[in-house]
Amino acid sequence: MHTAPKQFGKYEILGELGRGGFATVYRARDTRLGRQTALKILDPARSWESDFAARFLQEAQAAAQLKHPHIITIYEIDEVEGQLFIAMELIEGGSLRDYLQAGTSALDVGETRALLAPVAAALDHAHAHGMVHRDVKPANILLDRMNDGSVRAVLSDFGMVKALAQSTELTQSGAILGTVEYMAPEQGDTARAHEIGPAADIYALGVTAYHLLTGQVPFTGSTVQVLMAHASKPPQPPHELRADLPPAVSEAILCALAKQPGERFPTARAFVQALAAAEPPPPEPAKPLPAEPLPLPLAPAKRERGPLPIAAVIVVVLVASILWGARAIVLRRQLPTSRATITPVAIDCDAMVATVSALSNQNNCESAVAGADAAIAAGCQDRSLWENRAICYTMLGKVDAALADFATALDMNPGDAWTYINRSYAYEKQGRLPEALADLTQAITLQPGNAGFYFTRAHIYKQLAQLKDALADLTAAIDLEPANAEYYLNRGDLYERLGELPAAAADFERFVALTAGDDAWTDYRAARQQWLQSYQAGLATLMPATTATPISTSTAIPPTATPAQPAARVNSVANVRSGPGTQYDRIGVAAAGQRFDITGKNGAETWWQIDFNGRAGWLFADLVSAAGDLGRVSVAPAPPTPTRVPPTATPIPPTPTPIPPTPVPPTATTVPPTSAPPTPTPVPPATPTAAPP
C-alpha cells in the first residue's frame, strides 16, 4: 500500500487528492508562504529517459505562462531529489467528473453551454499562445466555488500530455497518451501525429458536451475498439439518445466530432456558441445553488437533480462569450437552411463584472486583468472594471497603466472617494507624494466622516516630514473611531518623534489596553509595554535632585513680560545634556513646566545652555519656550566631544511608523486600514531612551 510522504521539500503533505498513471496529486502546505496548494508529483519510475525532465519542465513552464481566469494557476515547477513536481492552485470544489458521478441524469443544453463556455475561452486563449491541451475531459475541468456562492470552471493539466508525447521511449513503444474516450482520431494514429493541433481540443470538447447531454461518451469498448471508432465510425446523434434534445444540438456536436480536423469548428467558442443558438427556451426558472459543497453527494437512483446551479449563478460567459463578438458564426458542417447562421449569445456584463471583482478581491490579479480586458473589449461600461483593473495593475507594478485606468474611472464618476484613495496608493508607489496627498485630501472632502482616510493621509504627511499635519489627521481619525488601537499606536509613535513623551505614553497605554488578549498585536504590545516601563523608570531614576521648581502662577514667565534674565520653560519631558548635541552625555531629565535661567547658546542657536543644579547643562531649543532678552545671550564654548566606547549591545533603532494598508471600497481589492495590523515594527531593546534628544 502506498504511503504518502509527510514532507516533500518545503511542502508539508496533508493528504492525497488523486492518482494517475504518471503522477500523484496531494493537498500540501507551502511552509514558507503558509498557503495550501495542489502538489502534483511525477512518479520517478516514469522518467524513462534522460531528456524527459527537460521536456517536461519546458512544457510545464510554457503552460505556466498562460494567464487566464479559467486556466489553473501554476505556482512552481521544480524537482526534489530527482522527483519532478508542479505546485498549483488548489481547487476545492472537485471536478466536473465528480459532479456527473454525483447525479443520475444528463444535463440540459443550458447547463452544458454554461459549463463549457469558460472552458472554450480557456482553450482559445491557449491556442492563441501556441499551446494544445490534448486531454480535455470532465476530470480535467475543475469547479471552484467562489466566496459569493458562484462557481468558476477551471481547466487543468496543461502541458503534461504534450511533454509525455515527446518522450522518445514512449513514441517508440507506441504508447497512447491521453484518454481514449475523448481522443481525436489524429491523436490515436501515430501516422497523423503531425495533424494534432487546436482542432484536437475542439473534438475533445465535443465529446465532453456529448457526455454531459446524454450521460455517456460516443464510443466504448477496448482501447483499440474506441480508437478505431473515433477514426471511422459515425457517432450516434445525441437527439436519438435523448428525445428532448433539438436536432440542431446534435448537428453542432457532430460538427465538433468531424473525423477531419478541418471540418470542425474553427474555435472552441464557436462550438459553444452553436450550442447556445440551439438551446430551447427553459421550461422553468433554474433552482438556486444548493448549500452543500461540490461535488454533490451520491443519491438514490431515482433522485431528481435540479438544473446545475452553474446555470443560475456561475459566471459562464466571462471571456468566451465576450470574445465572440457581433458577427455570425457559420458552421463548417452542412445544416438545414434555417440553421445555417448562428445567432450570437448575448453578453452578460453583470456576470463578467462580478467575476472580475471576485478575482480582484482574491488578489488573483492577472486573471482579473484578463477578464477586465475582455469585458471592456466587448463593450461593458461598468466603471468598476477600470477600477479593479487599475488596482491590480498597481499590485502588479504597472503603475502607469493603473493611473490611466483610474483616470477613466474618475471621468465616469468624479465623486467616488474610494477611487481617489486607491489612486493615491499608485502615486505613492511612484514616489509622487504631492499627488497622493492631493487625492487623499479630495477623498476626505467627499467623505469627511471616514477615519481611515485621515489615517492614510497622515501616513503621507509623515513621509513629507509634515509631522504636525500628520498629528492633526491621526487625532481626527481617533475622534471618529476612538476604539481603534492602530490609530493610538501610530499617534503615540508620532508623539515620541516630536518629543512629546507624556502624550506618547498616554497613547501607548491606550493601545495596550485596547489590544489586550489580541494575538495579532502581541509584538507591538510587548514593545510599547517595554517602552512604557523604561519611560517610567527614566523619570524616577534619571532625574537628579534639582533646585529648579515646577512652574506655577507665581513663577511662570508672563507671556507679555520680558524678564531681565533670559529663561527657558520646558514644554515636555526633555533630556539635559553636557553639551549642545545628542553626542554629549545625558546628565539629567527636565520635567514639563520646569523653568531654567539661560546662560548661553551654541552658534546655530539650536541649543540653550542652562544652570542645571550648579553645573552647565544644555537643552534642545525646540523642546522649550524661551523668553526674555535673548539678544543678550552670548555663544558659550562647547565642551570637548566625549570619546565613546563602542556599545556591546545593539544600538536603539528609531521606531518606524507602521505603514497603513491601503483602504479600498467593498467592490475593490483590499480593505480599509482599520481591519488589519500595520506593517511590523522593530521591537525596541530593553532600555529605550526615556526622553528626546
DSSP secondary structure of 193-220: GGG-SHHHHHHHHHHHHHHHHHSS-S--
Span 589-602, mean pLDDT? 82
Superfamily of domain 96-275: Transferase(Phosphotransferase) domain 1 (1.10.510.10)
- pLDDT class for 23, splitting at 50, 70, 90? confident
In this structure, of 23-27, 376-380, 604-608, the range with the lowest mean pLDDT score is 376-380
Say if residue 659 is exposed, middle or buried (CB neighbours under 10 Å; 0-12, 13-18, 19+).
middle
Span 507-514, mean pLDDT? 93
φ and ψ of 385, to 5 deg: -60, -45
Strand partners, 626: 568
Per-residue cell: 206: 465535443
CATH of domain 7-88: 3.30.200.20
CB of 635 closer than 8 Å to CB of 600: yes
Percent of the chain topping pLDDT 70: 72
* One-letter amino acid of 80: V
For residues 315 and 146, give the distance between their C-alpha atoms in angstroms, rounded to a whole number: 10
Judge whether residue 209 has pLDDT over 90: yes
What's the pLDDT at 217? 93
Per-residue cell: 553: 502662577
Per-residue cell: 290: 444548493
What are the residue numbers of the active site? 135
Sequence spans of domains, the chain: 7-88, 96-275, 349-413, 567-632
In this structure, of 10-14, 189-193, 423-427, 667-671, the range with the lowest mean pLDDT score is 667-671
For residues 458 and 256, give the distance between their C-alpha atoms in angstroms, rounded to a whole number: 61
φ and ψ of 57, to 5 deg: -60, -40
Closest CA relative to residue 569, chosen from 622, 498, 624, 621: 624
List CB contacts of 267: < 8 A, sequence separation 6 or more: 120, 124, 127, 198, 202
What's the pLDDT at 613? 80
In this structure, of 171-180, 269-278, 645-654, the range with the lowest mean pLDDT score is 645-654
For residues 350 and 76, give the distance between their C-alpha atoms in angstroms, rounded to a whole number: 34
What's the pLDDT at 159? 54
In this structure, of 71-85, 410-424, 678-692, the range with the lowest mean pLDDT score is 678-692
Architecture of domain 349-413: Alpha Horseshoe (1.25)
Judge whether residue 667 has pLDDT over 60: no
CB of 325 closer than 8 Å to CB of 351: no
Per-residue cell: 274: 452553436
Span 610-628, mean pLDDT? 84
For residues 682 and 593, give the distance between their C-alpha atoms in angstroms, rounded to a whole number: 32
- pLDDT class for 65, splitting at 50, 70, 90? confident
Span 308-316, mean pLDDT? 32
Judge if pTM exceeds 0.85: no
Pairing verdict, β 595-601 and 607-612 = antiparallel
Judge whether residue 203 has pLDDT over 90: yes
Judge whether residue 236 has pLDDT over 70: yes
- pLDDT class for 673, splitting at 50, 70, 90? very low
Domain pair 349-413 / 567-632, same fold: no
Cβ density class 414-425: b for 16+ within 10 Å, e for less: eebbbbbbbbbb
CB of 353 closer than 8 Å to CB of 374: no
Per-residue cell: 152: 468558476
Say if residue 439 is exposed, middle or buried (CB neighbours under 10 Å; 0-12, 13-18, 19+).
buried
Write out the H or E segment, with its range, that includes residue 569.
strand 567-570
* One-letter amino acid of 657: T
Judge whether residue 428 has pLDDT over 70: yes
Mean pLDDT in the chain? 75
Span 381-401, mean pLDDT? 91
List CB contacts of 557: < 8 A, sequence separation 6 or more: 551, 563, 567, 569, 595, 625, 627, 628
| Farthest-apart Cα atoms in the chain, separation | 115
Span 480-501, mean pLDDT? 90
For domain 567-632, give the fold.
SH3 type barrels. (2.30.30)
